Structures are given as structure tokens and as C-alpha cells.
């Protein structure tokens, strides 16, 4: 097994969390480097593309969350071997990444009026993204690919948790529940997976 170091911000959620969950529930050891926001300015120019997460694999650094998710998915058995099912997995992760980028583009807005306007303008494209992914899920069964839990489901789970967290001002916390019932049900299925419950119990225990 390679030596792994996953670097991402010091919070639960976001682009680095699916890989954290996948490695943890598979019992694969990795160094979990959690960057505090004041440290980011100094670290940013040292990353391959000026962003995190990054995953160091035996000294080689991988960037971009979906690249990391695919690699980690293969290590953990949470990525399909069948080419078409792998494409379904990739499609879902890419669609979620596009939607995530919409919200990320508003994170630096400090003016309350401008933030409100920007977030309200996101409701239509976010609703469209949720409904589109929801239709794909409905056509494929209980999971986004391969008929079982994959890194695509973990990415969806984390994304939907972020949307429902109440931390995103002017984005209704119940948006997914209202417009994407199959995705909302998927979020619950992943949360109830004993492996995921165990991960969250360990994380909460480490934080206390």
C-alpha cells in the first residue's frame, strides 16, 4: 500500500471530505493534513494548481478532487471496474463539481447585499443541477453507479450535507429535499451506512 498524505482545509465537508471518508471506511492509513485558513496563503503557491485537496502518493502529488476521488476509489474498492459504470460514477462527480463551483464562486463576497443577490441567482442553476442528477439516480437505482456505494455517492453525500448545513446564507437548507427526492433519500442511505456512521463517530470523538 502506498504512503498517502491528504491535505485539505480543517473542517468537515467540502471537496476533500469524500476521499477522507473513503480511505477511513476502507481502513487505509493516511496522513490527514488539515489546513487552517490563515495558513492557506503560504501553502497555495506550493500546490500544483493553487488549490486543495491534494493527495501525496509516495511523494508524487495529485491535485483536483475528482482525480483524487477516482484514485482513492480504486484503492478502496469504491470505484467501478466496469467501464460504463465507471463513466456513470465520473458523470455524477463532474456534475456535482460543476454545481459546487457555482457556490464556491460566491464564497469571497463580503458585501451582504451583493452576497444575497449572488446566492439568490444560484437557486435556479442549483435546482436544475439537483433535478438533473436526481433523474440520473432514479434511472439507475439506489446508487449513482454500479448498484452499490461508490465515491460518487460519497461526493453527493458531502455536497448535499453542505447544502443542507444552513451555513450557506440565502440557499434554503431544504432545497434538495424539495426538488430532488431521490438524492435526498440517497443522502440518508449513505448516512445510515454503518461504515460511514463509524467514520463520523471517530471524527466526533477525535474533535472532543
Are residues 90 and 24 both part of a single domain? no
Question: Residue 13 burial (CB < 10 Å; 0-12/13-18/19+)?
Answer: middle
Measured distance CA(105)–CA(108) in Å, rounded: 7
Are residues 95 and 74 both part of a single domain? no
What is the Cα Rg of the chain in Å?
A: 17
What is the SS3 assignment for 60?
strand
Q: Which residues pair with 9 in a beta bridge?
A: 35
Print the domain residue range for 59.
4-78+195-207
Are residues 120 and 170 both part of a single domain? yes
Grid coordinates of 102? 457555482
Measured distance CA(108)–CA(208) in Å, rounded: 30
Q: What's the whole-model pTM score?
A: 0.95
Helix (H) or strand (E) holding 22: helix 17-25
Per-residue pLDDT of the chain (208 residues; tens, 9 = 90+): 899 999 999 988 999 999 999 999 999 999 999 999 999 999 999 999 999 999 999 999 999 999 999 999 999 999 999 999 999 999 999 999 999 999 999 999 999 999 999 999 999 999 999 999 999 999 999 999 999 999 999 999 999 999 999 999 999 999 999 999 999 999 999 999 999 999 998 887 765 4
Measured distance CA(55)–CA(30) in Å, rounded: 10
- pLDDT at 208 (0 to 100): 46
Are residues 52 and 117 both part of a single domain? no
Q: How many domains does the chain have?
A: 2
Amino acid at each position: 500500500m502506498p504512503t498517502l498524505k491528504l491535505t485539505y482545509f480543517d473542517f468537515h465537508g467540502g471537496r476533500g471530505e469524500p476521499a477522507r471518508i473513503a480511505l477511513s471506511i476502507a481502513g487505509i492509513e493516511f496522513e490527514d493534513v488539515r489546513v487552517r485558513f490563515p495558513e492557506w496563503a503560504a501553502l497555495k503557491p506550493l500546490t500544483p494548481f493553487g488549490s486543495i485537496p491534494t493527495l501525496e502518493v509516495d511523494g508524487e502529488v495529485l491535485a483536483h478532487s475528482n482525480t483524487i476521488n477516482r484514485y482513492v476509489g480504486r484503492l478502496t474498492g469504491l470505484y467501478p471496474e466496469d467501464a460504463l459504470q465507471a463513466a456513470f460514477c465520473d458523470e455524477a462527480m463532474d456534475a456535482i463539481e460543476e454545481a459546487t463551483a457555482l457556490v464556491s464562486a460566491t464564497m469571497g463576497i463580503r458585501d451582504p447585499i451583493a452576497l444575497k443577490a449572488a446566492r439568490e441567482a444560484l437557486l435556479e442553476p442549483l435546482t436544475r443541477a439537483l433535478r438533473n442528477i436526481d433523474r440520473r439516480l432514479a434511472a439507475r437505482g439506489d446508487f449513482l453507479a454500479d448498484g452499490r456505494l461508490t465515491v460518487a455517492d460519497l461526493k453527493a453525500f458531502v455536497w448535499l450535507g453542505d447544502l443542507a448545513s444552513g451555513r450557506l446564507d440565502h440557499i434554503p437548507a431544504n432545497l434538495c429535499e424539495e426538488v430532488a427526492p431521490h438524492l435526498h433519500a440517497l443522502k440518508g442511505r449513505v448516512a445510515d451506512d454503518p461504515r460511514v456512521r463509524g467514520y463520523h463517530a471517530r471524527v466526533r470523538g477525535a474533535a472532543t
